[in-house]
Structure 1
Amino acid sequence: MSDRLTALSEAGVSIWLDDLSRERIETGNLADLVSSSSVVGVTTNPSIFAAALKDGERYDAEVRDLAKSGADVDTTVFQLTTGDVRSACDVLKPVFDLTHGVDGRVSIEVSPTLANDTDATIASAKDLWKAVDRENLLIKIPATTEGAPAISDVLGEGISVNVTLIFGLERYQGVMEAYVAGLEKARENGLDLSKIHSVASFFVSRVDTEIDKRLEELGADQELFGRAGVANARLAYQAFEEFFSGPRWQALADAGAHKQRPLWASTGVKNPDYRDTMYVTDLVVPDTVNTMPEKTMEAFADHGEVKGDQVTTMYDDASATMASLAAAGIDYDDVIATLEAEGVEKFVTSWNELLDTVRGQLEGAGEES
């Protein structure tokens, strides 16, 4: 067991692995990470599945069977991905039981091509929930304008949700509103609120990548580089603390509801000049999730530092950082709009790569038979 990862966990940060493959499951690697690296959850996305299926021979037999049965590309992708997530849920089930449902969670995403279609997103979420059929599943729904009502409706039916692709504070406020509205619907439907869980995936490193690029174009002071992502996330946590208080939330909490925890996503460092653990070390605070690529997790296990709460003590500093960025010419709203559009576009591209990979595998299996 890594002492550093254990210390991170003890500081109130749930460590989730941002990766999944059939090889990880079948070789026992995922179970080993749970037992030795304090991993208590798993997140997936189209890029992760595309990489797993492209390089994973462990899918070949099932693809051949699906090809023989006449399954199309969409059906095959659905079967393969839900199968892996179901197996991962089973690996994480002991953690789920031990934490009373807080952790031990595995996320699967609705098709990103549906990001701007509320009704289709709701239908896809229900289909995924039914197909995986595990109570420790989280359905990932993007935080688009059309995603908000889908989030509320899905939660209102008792389905736990991971809201993804959150970059800005205004959008995050809307996500928390959608969560509470969903819980209120669930209460009206007579559901047990204690069974419903949610996380809000707030992206970090991509904020620095976009703002650093703009700072470079502006010829700004080097001291401003690499500071926006953490400052933005710290202010998101401040919004979390403020939102989950007061009479409206207390009424839901009294009925058994859980707070929607912030999840720090995109925590792999994109700029090699930056500390490779900065998006973990600098965002340590209770009641959060940090979903990490294995490379980041290994780096933290080797030399990461836990210095106590690095968020609630830094609100003034975070506000000052964002003010300095604005003074330097950074248009925050434009940055966030750009990141939101690019985020959906990148996931759609990865989704299409996944479909192309599976299409090629189906065609190859058909030629063999």
Structure 2
Amino acid sequence: MTAENSPLAKLSAEGVAVWLDDLSRDRLTTGNLQELVDTREVVGVTTNPSIFQAAISKSSLYDDDLRRHARQGSDAEAAVRDFTSNDVRAAADLLAPVVERTGGLDGRVSIEVDPRLAHETDATTAQARDLWSLVDRPNIFIKIPATRAGLPAITSTIAAGISVNVTLIFSIERYHEVMDAYQTGLEQRLEAGESLDGTASVASFFVSRVDAEVDKRLDSIGTDEALALRGKAAVANARLAYAAYEEVIAADRWRRLEAAGAKRQRPLWASTSTKNPSYPDTMYVDQLVAPDTVNTMPESTLEAVADHGVVTGDTIRPNLDDARQTFAALESAGVDLADVSRTLEDEGVEKFESSWNELLESVAGKLEAAK
């Protein structure tokens, strides 16, 4: 493990689970993922369509499987599902000791439903069940987007005893709906006489994309008041999300569920690499430290934190008033935060759809060439 006084060790000691936002067969076969677990406090892995698109398109380690699928006459979707589920299963097995060490809290690997289903409740629910069975490991999360159609799918999936990573959350309002969907699923499970043991969830609140969109609007407004707010929206948004989380876990509804064995749906900070090179490269880690949270980072951010991260304790709860003031100032400056969230959700779904389609096209070409 890392030295006890290293930034990553301090982060873990503050109750922040360090997860890697990347997975590839190269990481698995070279021992890189195991090394990050051993030396960088990594206790979980997240994936998305963009990550798999990069991993499969750029590696030769899938060639034998491609030839096998070509001989079998598989289409691109079947091949991609095979590749991704195998990689996630291998990562889940690698992280099994973390599951045991953390009492089931960490050691999780996420795999996402087809992003083209983001606005289809029943299809999302069905594929969540299929992926859960296909990977067949208890320490995975099925990623479901926090779209309007995704909310009832989250409830149904949790009610079925399938653990969920809710992705693409951008607003406090939608986050409240996500937490309600999780609790409703747990309540339905209890009403059906089922155990809550093993069923878990995280809620992935996206960070850097908020600053990218808000900063663009602040630049357009152009006043001194607006320009002074650049780079402040994302951290304020995430901090207020944490406040919402604490409100929920303090309520009677959650206390009843927790007494019945429910696991807390931890907030997960996603999209934590800075998009603006003028911002400190660890700001979405250093400024979002609090117990019961997850921070999933690309390796570049992970290494930046290991090298020069500044972890001095809780940086969320002491700064909630500042976060509220930032939101009030943004609205006063003319930023429509509700529209920002809608725009980012639409763009997020579109980006993941595009990556998934590119991956399918790439694999289809490779399958044809391998015949």
Q: TM-score range by the shorter chain?
A: over 0.9
1:319 alignment counterpart? 324
1:291 aligns with 2:292: no
Q: How far, CA to CA, are the matches of 2:283 and 2:252 in structure 1? A: 36
**Cross-structure match for 2:356:** 351
Distance 1:246 1:348 in 2: 37
Matched, 1:204 2:207: yes
Aligned pairs for 1:44-55 within 5 A: 44-55=47-58
Corresponding residue number in structure 2 for 1:195:
198
Matching residue of 1:301: 306
- Once the two structures are TM-superposed, the CA of residue 337 in structure 1 deviates from its matched residue by 0.8
The residue matched to 1:363 in structure 2 has which SS? helix
Offset of 1:232 from its aligned partner? 0.3
Provide the secondary structure at the position in 2 that maps to 1:57. coil
Cα offset, 1:299, TM superposition: 0.3
SS in structure 2 at match of 1:301: helix
Q: 1:333 aligns with which of 338, 350, 362?
A: 338
1:137-156 matches, within 5 Å, as 137-156=140-159
Separation (CA, whole Å) in 1 of partners of 2:218 and 2:281: 21
Q: Paired residue for 1:310?
A: 315
Alpha-carbon distance between aligned partners in 2 of 1:190 and 1:110, rounded to the nearest angstrom: 27
| Letter of the structure 1 residue corresponding to residue 355 of structure 2 | S
Q: Does 1:75 align with 2:86?
A: no
Corresponding residue of 1:13 = 16
Q: Are 2:281 and 1:276 aligned? A: yes
> What is residue 165 of structure 2 aligned with on the other side?
162
2:91 is matched by which residue type in structure 1? Answer: A
- 2:93 and 2:310 map into 1 onto residues whose CA distance is 31
> Partner of 2:294: helix, strand, or coil?
strand
* Alpha-carbon distance between aligned partners in 1 of 2:368 and 2:338, rounded to the nearest angstrom: 45
Q: How does 1:95-106 map to 2 (within 5 A)?
A: 95-106=98-109
Determine whether 1:132 maps to 2:135. yes
CA displacement, residues 79-135 of structure 1 (integer Å, 9 cap, x when unaligned) = 010000000000001001111111000000000000000000001000100000000
User: Cα distance, 1:220 vs. partner?
Assistant: 3.1
User: How far did residue 246 of structure 1 move?
Assistant: 2.1
Q: Which digits, 9 at most, give the CA deviation of each residue in 1:219-276, with x for residues without a partner?
A: 0333200000000000000000001122211111111101100000000000000000
Using the alignment, how far apart are the partners of 2:194 and 2:92 within structure 1?
23
Give 1:33 deviation, angstroms.
0.5
Residue equivalent to 1:110: 113
Alignment-derived partner of residue 229 in structure 1? 234
Distance 1:275 1:291 in 2: 17
Runs of 4+, deviation exceeding 6 Å: none
Look up the equivalent residue of 2:16 and give its one-letter code: V
CA distance in 2, matches of 1:306, 1:192: 38
Q: Does 1:25 align with 2:23?
A: no
Matched AA of 2:136: D
Q: Which residue of 1 aligns with 2:123?
A: 120
Q: Which amino acid in structure 2 is aligned with residue 161 of structure 1?
A: V
Partners of 1:236 and 1:179 in 2: CA distance: 16
TM-superposed CA distance for 1:162, in Å, is 0.1
Q: What amino acid is aligned across from residue 346 of structure 1 in structure 2?
A: K
**Bigger shift: 191-200 or 210-219?**
191-200
Kindly state the Cα deviation for residue 289 of structure 1 after the two structures are TM-superposed.
0.2
Taking the aligned partners of 1:303 and 1:126, their CA distance within structure 2 comes to 42
Identity of aligned residues (%): 58
The 3-state SS of whatever aligns with 2:314 is coil
The alignment's C-alpha RMSD in Å is 0.8
CA distance in 2, matches of 1:161, 1:19: 18
The one-letter code sitting in structure 2 at the alignment partner of 1:225 is: R
Give distance in 2, aligned partners of 1:101 and 1:260: 13
Counterparts of 1:106 and 1:129 in 2: how far apart (Å)? 12
Cα distance in 2 between the residues matched to 1:100 and 1:138: 16
TM-score between the two structures when normalised by the length of structure 1: 0.98
SS state at 2:315 partner:
coil
- Structure 2 CA distance for aligned equivalents of residues 26 and 79 of structure 1: 17
Cα drift, residue 190 of structure 1: 2.3
Taking the aligned partners of 1:163 and 1:218, their CA distance within structure 2 comes to 33
Summarize deviations over 1:163-196 as a string: whole Å, max 9, x none.
0000001100000000000101111222221311
Counterpart code for 2:75: D
Of 185-194 and 257-266, more deviation after overlay is shown by 185-194
**Structure 2: gaps spanning 5 or more residues:** none
CA distance in 1: counterparts of 2:177 and 2:25, whole angstroms? 35
In the alignment, which residue of structure 1 is the partner of 2:92? 89
Q: Equivalents in 1 of 2:195, 2:298: separation in Å?
A: 34
What does the per-residue CA deviation read over 1:262-294, in whole Å, with 9 as the maximum and x for residues that have no partner?
Answer: 000000000000000000000010100000000
Q: Distance in 2 between matches of 1:318 and 1:101?
A: 33
**Structure 1: 5+ residue stretches without partners:** none
- Deviation of 1:307 (Å): 1.3
